[in-house]
């Protein structure tokens, strides 16, 4: 990128006007979410405002505080409300230090605003970073909820299992907050028959990431009192279940595909565009 000092300053005026209009449009969305005390604080500290905007808008493009200046992320956050676990949440709750490549991979949310609006009360939109179940457990092992409940139960049966070491791929996922309707008391094949053409079953890592992250961000415990099957399989070929969330934390289990239980439903997510 060439400097504006290299040419006539007047040549840059049209582009500056377009840039300014884009910034104002983005800030207008931020303004809707900002309280008056915060706004007045920025008004009274112009140097700090200039510094934080410079860090966000000039290379390197990795400022953790303003990653949501991306209009796509802002729009998704505005639609989903508390059912949004984005870049800032991953940084805050999982200690993620996103690279430029990772931010670029998450630049576009692969769900239309119409789909997000339809799912805003039933799903969580999650920015998944490559963390295994073992990684997540290590990062939250010392965290307890206000009632002294653990986030993840102290289980060691899966320590050496491949599914627990799988970090998965970076990307946006739209995860249903409840089991698929009428999916309990059914075996794996019967449960799969309940999915629409727009749905699929997420793996155990994505589910643990979503459940733990959402609980840390909002306090809401998903799948309390119920397991849901995932697409991950144990070394014996049985699908891995997550959920239940008793007082000692989120549990992982596994069971044969032929099992039918009243406490075992099916996890689902929307397929991306």
Which pLDDT tens digit goes with each residue over 146-193?
Answer: 878 889 998 999 999 999 999 989 999 999 999 999 999 999 999 999
- Taking only the tens place, the pLDDT of each residue in 23-42 is 888 888 888 888 888 888 88
157 secondary structure, DSSP code:
T
State how far the alpha carbon of 122 is from the alpha carbons of 68, 69, 191, 222, in Å. 23, 26, 19, 11
DSSP states of 160-216: T-HHHH-----EEEEEESSPPTT-TT--HHHHHTT--TTEEPPPHHHHHHHHHHHHH
Q: Which tokens is 90 given?
A: 């991953």
What is the value of pTM for the model shown? 0.76
Q: At residue 9, does pLDDT exceed 80?
A: no
């Amino acid at each position: 990128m060439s400097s504006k000092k290299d040419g006539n300053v007047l040549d840059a005026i049209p582009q500056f006007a377009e840039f300014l209009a884009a910034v104002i449009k983005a800030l207008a969305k931020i303004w809707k979410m900002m309280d008056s005390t915060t706004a007045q604080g920025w008004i009274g500290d112009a140097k700090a405002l200039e510094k934080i905007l410079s860090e966000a808008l000039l290379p390197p493009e990795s400022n953790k505080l303003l990653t949501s200046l991306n209009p796509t992320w802002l729009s998704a956050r505005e639609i989903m409300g508390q059912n949004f676990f984005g870049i800032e949440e991953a940084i805050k709750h999982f200690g993620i230090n996103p690279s430029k490549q990772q931010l670029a991979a998450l630049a576009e949310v692969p769900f239309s605003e119409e789909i997000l609006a339809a799912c805003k009360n039933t799903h969580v939109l999650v920015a998944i970073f490559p963390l295994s179940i073992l990684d997540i457990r290590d990062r939250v092992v010392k965290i307890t909820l206000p009632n002294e409940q653990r986030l993840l139960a102290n289980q060691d049966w899966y320590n050496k299992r491949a599914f627990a070491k799988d970090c998965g791929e970076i990307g946006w996922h739209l995860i249903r907050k409840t089991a698929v309707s009428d999916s309990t008391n059914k075996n794996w094949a019967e449960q799969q028959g309940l999915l629409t053409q727009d749905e699929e079953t997420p793996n155990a890592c994505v589910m643990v990431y979503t459940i733990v992250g959402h609980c840390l961000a909002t306090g809401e415990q998903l799948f309390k009192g119920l397991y849901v099957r995932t697409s991950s399989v144990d070394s014996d070929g049985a699908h891995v279940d997550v959920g239940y969330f008793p007082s000692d934390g989120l549990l992982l289990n596994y069971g044969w595909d032929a099992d039918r239980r009243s406490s075992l439903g099916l996890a689902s997510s929307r397929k991306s565009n």
